[in-house]
Chains A and B, each alone.
Chain A
């Protein structure tokens, strides 16, 4: 195979442009830090790298577990033709999400810490673990494609035999972390706008991820069919659209009902920024696609199907961004608009996903529903020995998770009554409490020791501590040592006491030795 640069078509130029900006942004982010590359701030610590790259990225990869479950657990083999490309999309999606996360983390080299530093009370801990495990599962689910491509029969047979346990683990992990991304926001009831905040955000995130993931399957099947001149699995996709209608309707009903019970319905039509974004999200992204997919003429038309999926995806993306950004703006008190570098990194990552998918589709058997080497295998029924082993491992993993969580629960420390701190006496507040006089011992050739008195220097009715602290003199006694030694030379240079004792603001130090120095007897 000869290596050659791709022809400079319009799209390769666009790609090159995005990646050049992306590389520059990546360098800036890692060399100068998040503050230089992003518009993030103490008021707005999470931006589009979380809102889009993570929340949307993970959500749209949900097609993977839904289709895998449909094919392998519910045994609807008719969906098999789309299983592989869907699983590939999900696998790529998760890899890109992890890539994006490395941009967002302040210390990306510590990304493995949740593996050994446990905090089962943390939602983020759960998300981290699930994403790691599920990416591994997706890799294993994707392996058969590679094995087929390179005709590795034995490994292929092994991996096939553990398909079902793999898919089950995958479904469980997906359910957990899709919902957990919503749980992340359950801890901010005062910060997230009531149009989006809910105690059951995890449920909403899960349901909308199922709808979004399915819409992604339609979206991507349509585009791949066009790009690779493959026949569209039209009947399957049309059926998917009907499932989307059911899922979205359930979602809409639950959300409105939940908003009603929280008294948030009144915000829908107050035409604040939030209400407008909400109306677009729900109107265009939920209600409209339900209506579109309910219309047979649109559902049974390729373009109509595609259009409907685009609306679902729009609504999904808007929902995640609304939770992460729109809904958090009012409480943050500052407006967050991503910097061009944040956008460039996100665009580069999305572009990378498209390019990798294209190459995978070109060189790997992801659209073939045939199974060149496994046709006569009783497909998934006989799990065999390795299947049993896998089930055993699954059991051990489940057990470990339960035990781990159990330990985490009982780890709650109880206060140790033996612990004692010398309590500072609670002083009745009132008059100004000034430090005791400070005695400066005689130095060499000094006419006598000096006692500094705060009382002589501070007007209790309008104390100006800052005049002397902490620029001229440190405040902490243990630190005072360094600057505590007063030197007459410095005073003459208008330093230390000399700053004020210059003959203008206060008496001159040169002619008034005896005012401060008291000769030893």
Chain B
């Protein structure tokens, strides 16, 4: 199944239990601030305009970071997580540039740094059939784990049943081609620092449109250049052999 997370911002009390649980399971330093994502905080709770906003990797259906990585260190798993292999990474940071949500972070203070981001507890929970640490810790059910399609239905149901309580938008359903982390909110997402106007087409498509032309460019270009060289040289050769008679 494809797993996902639904975070209902109207139900979040800002206790940061999710952020703490994340730090515990991933052995991240608790001293790093928990109100913004960093190499040492993969799950954060930001307090903005009176709203508590849980931040984490969106685990896109077709992630820009995965397509950007030159060594395939990032991977989208069957279970839905976008995971990272530090052993492959060469540290080019193109994933950070490419991610439309600005999620991957870097260990700038280390001499041998790696990319750091939420991996949906892939190894420690998801692959063992358990739910991620963050959702299991949430005391209000503001952030819940489940099957992607079921969570989308649940989100739509909440909007339909309480139209006054939510802006009619499931953030993450269409953004960047669809993600695995959805948000519901009473306040427009643009006011909460969520990137607005994101493309609804997956981002990797943009570069693939160009890259997929390479075989054509190589074959056409190669033939063209060889042809030009052959024609020009043959003409010069013929001219040299049979100088135009006077």
Contacts and interface: CB of A to CB of B under 8 A. Distances in A.
Nearest to B130: A422
A164 to B, nearest CB: 6
A235 interface: no
A131 to B, nearest CB: 11
A45 interface: yes
B163 interface: no
Interface string B62-85: 001011111111000011000000
A184 interface: yes
Interface string B218-246: 11011001101100110011000000000
Contacts of B222: 168, 172, 394, 398
Contact of A420 (B1, B144, B225, B233): B1
Interface string A154-198: 000000000010001001100110010001101111110000000
Contacts of A420: 1, 129
B208 A46 contact: no
B112 interface: yes
Interface of B: 1-3, 8, 11, 13, 15-17, 20-21, 23-25, 30, 37-39, 64, 66-73, 78-79, 88-94, 96-98, 100, 102, 105-114, 126, 129-131, 133, 135-142, 144-147, 150-151, 154, 195, 197-199, 203-204, 206-212, 214-215, 217-219, 221-222, 225-226, 228-229, 232-233, 236-237
Query: Chain A interface mostly helix, strand, loop or mixed?
Result: loop
Interface in A184-220: 184, 186-191, 199, 202
Interface string A396-422: 001001100110010001011001111
Query: Chain B interface mostly helix, strand, loop or mixed?
Result: mixed
14 contacts: A42-B108, A75-B232, A113-B88, A113-B90, A118-B72, A122-B69, A125-B70, A188-B100, A394-B222, A421-B126, A421-B129, A430-B141, A470-B24, A476-B25
Given A46-B97, A415-B78, A463-B13, A427 B218 contact: no
Given A125-B70, A470-B24, A42 B38 contact: yes
Given A33-B110, A421-B1, A183 B228 contact: no
A128 B97 CA distance: 17
B113 A106 contact: yes
Query: Lowest 4 CB-CB distances: which A-B pairs, in order?
Result: A106-B91, A35-B108, A110-B90, A124-B70
Nearest to A114: B70
Given A191-B97, A402-B219, 17 more contacts: A34-B113, A119-B72, A124-B68, A168-B222, A168-B225, A176-B217, A186-B206, A186-B209, A187-B204, A190-B197, A415-B78, A424-B136, A427-B141, A458-B139, A463-B15, A463-B139, A466-B16
A42 B105 contact: yes
Contacts of B211: 120-121, 123, 126, 183
Given A33-B109, A164-B229, A479 B70 contact: no
A73 interface: yes
Interface in A113-148: 113-114, 117-128
Contacts of A464: 15
Given A186-B206, A187-B98, A422-B129, A465 B139 contact: yes
Given A33-B109, A424-B135, A402 B218 contact: yes
A6 interface: no
A15 interface: no
A359 interface: no
Contacts of B113: 33-34, 106-107
A43 interface: yes
B207 A186 contact: yes
A107 B133 contact: no
Contact of A466 (B11, B15, B21): B15
Interface in A39-66: 40-43, 45-46
Contacts of B69: 119, 122, 124
A398 B219 contact: yes
B94 A424 contact: no
A30 interface: yes
B208 A121 contact: yes
B139 A432 contact: yes
B89 A110 contact: yes
Contacts of A30: 111
Nearest to B89: A107
Contact of A106 (B3, B72, B88, B90): B90
B214 A405 contact: yes
A184 B96 CA distance: 12
A246 interface: no
A429 B93 contact: no
A249 to B, nearest CB: 23
Interface string A1-42: 000000000000000000000000000001111111000111
B203 A429 contact: no
A119 B217 contact: no
Contacts of B133: 476
